[in-house]
Amino acid sequence: MRRIVARLSPLLVIGTWLLMACGAPTSSTTGTGATTSSTSSDTTTPATMTTTGGGATASSATTTEGGTTTNSATTTGGTTALSGDPVPLGVAVAETSNTAALGQEQVIGVTIAEKYFNDHGGINGRPLKIIRQDTAGDENGAINAFNALINQSKVLGIVGPTLSQQAFAADKIADTAKVPVVGPSNTAKGIPQIGPYVARVSAPVAVVAPNAVKAALKQNPQIKKVAVLFAQNDAFSKSETGTFQQTITKTAGLQLLPVQTFQTTDTDFTSQATSVLNQNPDLVIISGLAVDGGNLVKQLRELGYKGLIIGGNGFNTPNIYPVCKAQCDGLLIAQAYSYELVTPVNTDFRKSYQDLQKREPGQLAAQAFAGVQVFVEAMREVDKATPLKGLSVEAARTAINDQLLKGKYQTPLGPISFTPEGEVIQNDFYVAQVKMNADGATGKFVLLK
């Protein structure tokens, strides 16, 4: 039963944002309605949020991590029995609001990771326990979620938030409290520079986005005029459009048409789509989030645009299908993950995802898995040197942060490591093209060769 609840809840949430995507014109996030949930427990505790407006205090120095339970693992018939107090890791992503179109993939990724690493011995015999806080889609939601995880749940690290826009607000709180944060999907310029406790497993726009332009030119070498649109109220979209515009003009030597803007809360893109069509572009590039971006694609196609469209990282979820439906077909989206990668960890991850979702995993789920993985491996190393249960929460957080930045990890994304500043080092990048099925409701991210 526990498992069924845990597995169904992502679907319920997707239903909620779908209703919002198709109905209400604006995001309904309030930033105050976060709830705590754990993927390994069937109890849902309403969070008592203390919003400190950014002034989180570090937790008491007398708290020790893990208590007094003995820490031993016994192996019977190939499975490891975990014992001792669970090791708490926070996950703060957008489980509600329009941003859940992105965050819900991350919930699936971390849920798979928790089971995978607990099936593989946990933290040297102790179970990993993921404690989730919904950030919804705005900055306040992320700040509240971070404060609750840091001060109430006493997590040893946080995977999150979903958006760079949220990271620029919330990561500072964790950094000040000396709690390591790993961004699972924050791709804007400047994220690792927020502070020494901030790293990311999500390769930046400057590395990923240009690959989509290359792929578009390969499919249509006649491209000359490019229309670019971006969500001006979103930090990632602003950062990504800068990379796209530079790639168009400097790298590819193409003509950049007058740039159009929109808001992530917009639902009517008639004026932008009409001006794009009047400019007669050979390629359209959109930097926005899944619901606004998906609606823009749909309206562009409905008004008659026939050329290639590149969607930025905000389109990187199968949850765009219900938004742009058949009109999602042909979208090009650069990727920092290939479900086709044949490695032991990706084969396991891919199978778990397929079993749960009946489709191939995408980048956001894989990056969320990798975010948990770097914490797990760092925790194991720290625990080997000095058992975590003997360390204060503060000492454990700092030791985990130091170790995390030093490690090398074989993740579903391929091998990754970090610069001393916390920027991810990753080798391989890809481009996918959306292929919609005849039903106009389901589809696939086909990786281009």
What is the binding site for ligand 1QQ (CB under 6 A)?
Answer: 102, 162-164, 185-188, 236, 289, 313-314
Q: Choose between 49 and 170: whose C-beta lies nearer to ligand 1QQ.
A: 170
Q: How far is the CB of 167 from ligand 1QQ (least distance, A)?
A: 7
Q: Choose between 84 and 311: whose C-beta lies nearer to ligand 1QQ.
A: 311
d(CA 230, CA 10): 28
Q: How far is the CB of 236 from ligand 1QQ (least distance, A)?
A: 3
Which residue number places its CB atom closest to ligand 1QQ? 236
Q: For residue 83, how many other CB atoms are within 10 A of its CB?
A: 15
Question: What is the β-pairing status of strands 74-76 and 79-81?
Answer: antiparallel
Q: Choose between 14 and 391: whose C-beta lies nearer to ligand 1QQ.
A: 14
Q: For residue 113, how many other CB atoms are within 10 A of its CB?
A: 30
Q: How far is the CB of 188 from ligand 1QQ (least distance, A)?
A: 5
Q: Choose between 82 and 235: whose C-beta lies nearer to ligand 1QQ.
A: 235
Q: Choose between 56 and 365: whose C-beta lies nearer to ligand 1QQ.
A: 365
Is 80 within 8 Å of 125 (Cβ atoms)?
yes
Question: What is the β-pairing status of strands 225-231 and 260-262?
Answer: parallel
CA 327 to chain centre: 24
Q: How far is the CB of 118 from ligand 1QQ (least distance, A)?
A: 26
Q: Choose between 83 and 245: whose C-beta lies nearer to ligand 1QQ.
A: 245
Q: How far is the CB of 237 from ligand 1QQ (least distance, A)?
A: 8
Tell me the residue length of the chain.
449
The per-residue DSSP string of 269-312 comes to -HHHHHHHHHH--SEEEEES-HHHHHHHHHHHHHTT--SEEEE-
d(CA 211, CA 340): 18
Cα–Cα distances (Å) from 123 to 106, 375, 446, in that order, read 22, 10, 36
Helix axis angle, 363-385 relative to 100-119, nearest 10°?
40
Q: How far is the CB of 187 from ligand 1QQ (least distance, A)?
A: 4
Cα–Cα distances (Å) from 332 to 337, 339, 348, in that order, read 14, 16, 27
Q: Choose between 362 and 443: whose C-beta lies nearer to ligand 1QQ.
A: 362
Is 211 within 8 Å of 159 (Cβ atoms)?
no
Q: How far is the CB of 299 from ligand 1QQ (least distance, A)?
A: 20
Q: How far is the CB of 229 from ligand 1QQ (least distance, A)?
A: 15
Q: Choose between 288 and 322: whose C-beta lies nearer to ligand 1QQ.
A: 288
